[in-house]
Every structure is written in structure tokens, then in C-alpha cells.
């Protein structure tokens, strides 16, 4: 009885690890930083979301995404929270400038 439960859980985990997700490439944070520097002023929420929606992506599993982040030496912002995470990143950039 319990063997079947564990087998089903293992299959669910395996299927989750096989899902692919759109990952911005180049990183969304680098694109936003470049666009803001070009503009010479902070990006608006609408601008950030438009850039996010139009950015090029590659389709990767979460494992491959994490490998990409390791190779870049940085973690990108989550596209689902692009505006919020961009505000946090901007603060860090300003503190380090």
C-alpha cells in the first residue's frame, strides 16, 4: 500500500523536474539596467513590464536554469515579480555606486 504512495510521489517529483520554463537571456536584470542607463532616468512600472514581456527567452528546466545562473555568477530577477525585484535591485546598485 505505502509503496504505491512513494512511487506516485517520485513520479510527481520527476515530472516537476522535467517541466521547462521561459528564462530571459540575456538576464532580465542586465537588460533593465541597460535600458535605464540609456533612458537616463528610472524606468516606470509599465516600461519594466513591457521590457519583460518582450525580452528573449530560452526554455530551460529549473535545474538548467540554476546551472545558467551559476555560470553567469548571478541570479536573475523573477519575471513574475519583475517590478518588485527591479526596485530591490536598483536600491542595491545605488548603494554600491
CA 66 to chain centre: 10
pTM comes to: 0.75
Tell me: pLDDT of 35 over 50: yes
Grid cell for residue 83: 517590478
* Percentage of the chain exceeding pLDDT 90: 58
Spatial neighbors of 29 by CB under 8 A, at least 6 apart, are: 74, 76, 77, 86, 89
Tell me: pLDDT of 1 over 50: no
Q: How many CB atoms lie within 10 A of CB 50?
A: 13
Amino acid at each position: 500500500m505505502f509503496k504505491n504512495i512513494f512511487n506516485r510521489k517520485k513520479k510527481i517529483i520527476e515530472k516537476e523536474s522535467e517541466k521547462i520554463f521561459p528564462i530571459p537571456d540575456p538576464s532580465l536584470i542586465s537588460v533593465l539596467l541597460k535600458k535605464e542607463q540609456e533612458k537616463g532616468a528610472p524606468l516606470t512600472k509599465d516600461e519594466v513590464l513591457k521590457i519583460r514581456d518582450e525580452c528573449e527567452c530560452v526554455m530551460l528546466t529549473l535545474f538548467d536554469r540554476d546551472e545558467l545562473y551559476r555560470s553567469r555568477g548571478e541570479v536573475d530577477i523573477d519575471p513574475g515579480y519583475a517590478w518588485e525585484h527591479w526596485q530591490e535591485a536598483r536600491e542595491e546598485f545605488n548603494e554600491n555606486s
